[in-house]
Amino acid sequence: MGTKKNKGTVCVQGGWQPKKGEPRMLPIYQSTTFKYDNSDQMARLFDLKDTGYFYTRLQNPTNDVVADKIRELEGGVSAMLTSSGQAASFYSVFNICEAGGHFIASNNIYGGTYNLFGVTMKKLGIECTFFDPDCSDEEIESLIRPNTKCVFGETISNPGCHVFDIERFAGMAHSHGLPLIVDNTFATPVNCRPFEWGADIVVHSTTKYLDGHATSVGGCIVDSGNFDWMAHADKFPGLCQPDESYHGLTYAEAFGKNAFITKATAQLMRDLGSIQSPFNAFLLNLGIETLHLRMRQHCENAQKVAEFLHDNERVAWISYCGLPDDKYYALGQKYLPNGSCGVIAFGLKGDRETAIKFMDSLKMISIVTHVADSRTCVLHPASHTHRQLSDEQLREAGIAPDLIRLSVGIEDVEDIIADIKQALNQ
């Protein structure tokens, strides 16, 4: 409403807008259910004729306020929270791609998403073909089939730190009548808004920078409202044909620009139930209040750490798009002009053992299965998060076996560098 606010202001003031006498801080509606005065009022909610809350598995006011803040940050029209980033990625595809369907995804994505798309969704009869974003348009477009439903990529890939050319892939997707879904977890809307480059749907693992303090696992889906489902009605029957579980209602007709999120809420959340707890949404909201400040510090620190590693003789290679000789520097300047994120990928001269020795020698910086947190942390994907991938799959996903993922926090950068320095000397 009113004039468009800057991102920092939305981080602080977006979402909860209390009326006279209401709590200044977003209340936690820790309630499974909601009261109505008569049976007809309730019936109208079930028919999607009125909007309102009836059961937290579908919607909860605390969650919706926080989803709305993320929606405003991304510049979308509607949004929903999910219990995890994995649930958000799954719903974003499954909402438009059912058994017998196919989609294509960049091979430079989070390991959990790679496994979800390549293994688990296959068991549901949905096929994903992974593409190398460095291939030519012709090579990638040759993977698109008549039953292809969407294109998926990650703004900054976890853990490779490659930058996805959103505008290029949006153009490619749209020329085939497909939406582009972008996982914007690492960049956050503070540093990149994929909708401005043509992406149609954005997903987040809010577990990372949005929460920022490692308190709550969560996810979010945001719709730009820009994709015209009805123009490709044959391809998207779930949105463009009557839903028998809602008395023949057609989402794209009844809800227009809000069709995607309404269907994901009314159908997928209802049936699969991956709601975020209102308490976690409260913590997420608190995290987002400082997102703009934290991202600035993460980027400033990571740039200095990246420059230190870049010039260190024990470092074999480094991937951070803020370094002028990085492969993704130009894409970084285009999509992430104010900074990318705090995550750096690098390898040490030596073998796998060298990486493990280095990590075990760190004192302040801890080894955790986490990333994008206010505390600096480190992980060796080949022995931790990506254990389930073969060496070949690792390489396909752009992950060198010696890759160390360093997530630079918001401590004083001198202390971060000092810890890395002493560990490198071990």
Ligand X SMILES: *Cc1c(COP(=O)(O)O)cnc(C)c1O
Where does this chain bind ligand X (CB under 6 A)?
84-86, 89, 110, 112-113, 154, 158, 183, 185-186, 205, 207-208, 217, 219
Q: Tokens at residue 8, please?
A: 């920092």
Residue whose entry in the numeric block shows the structure tokens 């007709």: 253
Tell me if 83 sits within 8 A of 373, measured CB to CB. Answer: no
Q: Which is nearer to ligand X, 116 or 173 (CB)?
A: 116
Tell me if 89 sits within 8 A of 184, measured CB to CB. Answer: no
Q: Which is nearer to ligand X, 205 or 262 (CB)?
A: 205
The least distance separating ligand X from the CB of residue 105, rounded to whole angstroms, comes to: 12
Find all residues with CB under 8 Å of 25, minimum gap 6, and list them.
Answer: 16
The least distance separating ligand X from the CB of residue 370, rounded to whole angstroms, comes to: 8
Q: Tokens at residue 182, please?
A: 């972008």
- Of 311, 378, 367, the C-alpha closest to 342 is 378
The least distance separating ligand X from the CB of residue 184, rounded to whole angstroms, comes to: 8
The least distance separating ligand X from the CB of residue 424, rounded to whole angstroms, comes to: 26
Q: Which is nearer to ligand X, 154 or 200 (CB)?
A: 154
Q: Which is nearer to ligand X, 219 or 322 (CB)?
A: 219
Question: 3-state DSSP helix/strand/coil percent for the chain, to nearest 5?
Answer: 40, 15, 45
Residue whose entry in the numeric block shows the structure tokens 């649930």: 87
Q: Which is nearer to ligand X, 63 or 250 (CB)?
A: 63
Q: Tokens at residue 278, please?
A: 């209102």
Q: Which is nearer to ligand X, 238 or 287 (CB)?
A: 287
Cβ burial, residue 36 (10 Å; 0-12/13-18/19+) = middle
CB atoms within 10 A of CB 138: 7
Q: What is the dihedral of CA 163, 167, 172, 178, to 10 degrees?
A: 100
Beta pairing class for 180-183 and 201-205: parallel
Calpha distance 335→187 (Å, rounded)? 9
- Of 75, 310, 36, the C-alpha closest to 196 is 75
Radius of gyration of the chain, Cα coordinates, nearest whole angstrom = 22
Q: Tokens at residue 394, please?
A: 């690792």
The least distance separating ligand X from the CB of residue 102, rounded to whole angstroms, comes to: 21
Calpha distance 413→299 (Å, rounded)? 11
Tell me if 329 sits within 8 A of 225, measured CB to CB. Answer: no
The least distance separating ligand X from the CB of residue 41, rounded to whole angstroms, comes to: 36
Q: Which is nearer to ligand X, 110 or 328 (CB)?
A: 110
The least distance separating ligand X from the CB of residue 230, rounded to whole angstroms, comes to: 30
The residue nearest ligand X at its CB is 85
Q: Which is nearer to ligand X, 186 or 328 (CB)?
A: 186
Q: Which is nearer to ligand X, 65 or 202 (CB)?
A: 202
329-361 burial: b if 16+ Cβ within 10 Å, else e: eebbeebbeebbbbbbbbbbeeeeebbeebbee
Calpha distance 209→294 (Å, rounded)? 8
The least distance separating ligand X from the CB of residue 157, rounded to whole angstroms, comes to: 7
Q: Which is nearer to ligand X, 63 or 207 (CB)?
A: 207
The least distance separating ligand X from the CB of residue 208, rounded to whole angstroms, comes to: 5
The least distance separating ligand X from the CB of residue 372, rounded to whole angstroms, comes to: 7
